[in-house]
Amino acid sequence: MVCHKMIRSLMCCCLTLMLSTIGLAAQQVSEPAQRSPSDLDEIRKVSKLLDTDVMNKANEKIAGLEDLVLASEGTIQYAVLSQGGIAGVGATYFAVPWDVFDVNHAHGKWAINLNMSKETLGKAPAFQDSSYKDLLKPEWVAKVHDYFHPQTNRETRIPQAMTTVLRATKIMDAKLKNIQNEDVGEVEELLLDPKYRVAYAIIGRGGVLGIGENFIPVPWLKLRMTYNRETTAVAAVIDATKAKLEQAPLVKGGNYSTMLAPGFAAQVDRYFGVTRSSP
């Protein structure tokens, strides 16, 4: 009798241990994977951003968004807006500091708002050079910032002229070379992080007329942009061999949703030797 009681007691203990183990395993499966600083929560395409109308609080279209001017580290410095003209001919262009916009991205759609009327924007300093070289002039940049930041204390905030005018439209049309000066692809797209900084460039390689082309996500930190002050041309350079790029992680399809898979962006960063701090 005592033996049977011991056996039953032992079986109960084993059953309890098994149930607790199963419960713990189920809990571990249900918990979301820990996010990496490199993980993206949405696919924020710059190409889509450049196809967005700029609205004001009255829900009136006040301009079109034509281009972005980036700093070398990938932050957006200015949005280039256009007013008037037909098919771009005869339009007036303005450089508006990025921090004055109210920007939102949700479900693949951009919303860009600027708190001023169309007439007020039309009185801002306009580009005199179609290549945006005015941004290289300190006095012109000061006028722009005075116009869009009228409450700014000039003694504590002195705007700086750009040393390079890295236009998003030029970057996304740039050939990518490595330091051996070999053609290794073409920049197809730029992806922004939640703080609207360029996080990754999508590089297209191979294929014919877009068929069979491979898309490689490359951390922006691994790219070096060169700027020609005379021609305003932009070139992209990466310190990687052709063989290195051939073995790189790929994204599938034109929506680049592969980038949203848990840990995939971290895998890309590890492959290219990039370490990111928490945002």
Phi-psi region of 85 (alpha: psi -120 to 50; beta: other; left: phi over 0): left
Residue 31 scores a pLDDT above 50: no
Lowest mean pLDDT among 23-37, 111-125, 144-158: 23-37
Architecture of domain 169-272: Roll (2.30)
Residue 252: per-residue pLDDT: 87
Give the list of residues 6+ apart from residue 91 with CB closer than 8 angstroms, or none.
82, 83, 84, 85
Count of CB atoms within 10 A of residue 50's CB? 18
Give the list of residues 6+ apart from residue 253 with CB closer than 8 angstroms, or none.
none
Residue 51: per-residue pLDDT: 86
- Does the model's pTM come out above 0.85? no
pLDDT tens-digit series, residues 36-94: 667 789 999 999 999 899 999 999 999 999 999 999 999 999 999 999 877 667 899 99
Question: pLDDT-derived band of residue 243, with 50, 70 and 90 as boundaries?
Answer: very high
pLDDT tens-digit series, residues 163-221: 999 999 999 989 999 999 999 999 999 999 999 999 999 999 876 555 668 899 999 99
- Where do we find the tokens 């280039």? 80
Q: Which residue has the higher pLDDT, 14 or 28?
A: 14
Residue 50: per-residue pLDDT: 96
Range(s) within the chain of domains with CATH label 2.30.30.240: 44-148, 169-272
Contact 61, 54 (CB under 8 A): yes
CATH homologous superfamily of 44-148: PRC-barrel domain (2.30.30.240)
The two tokens of residue 98 are: 């990025």
Average pLDDT, the chain: 85
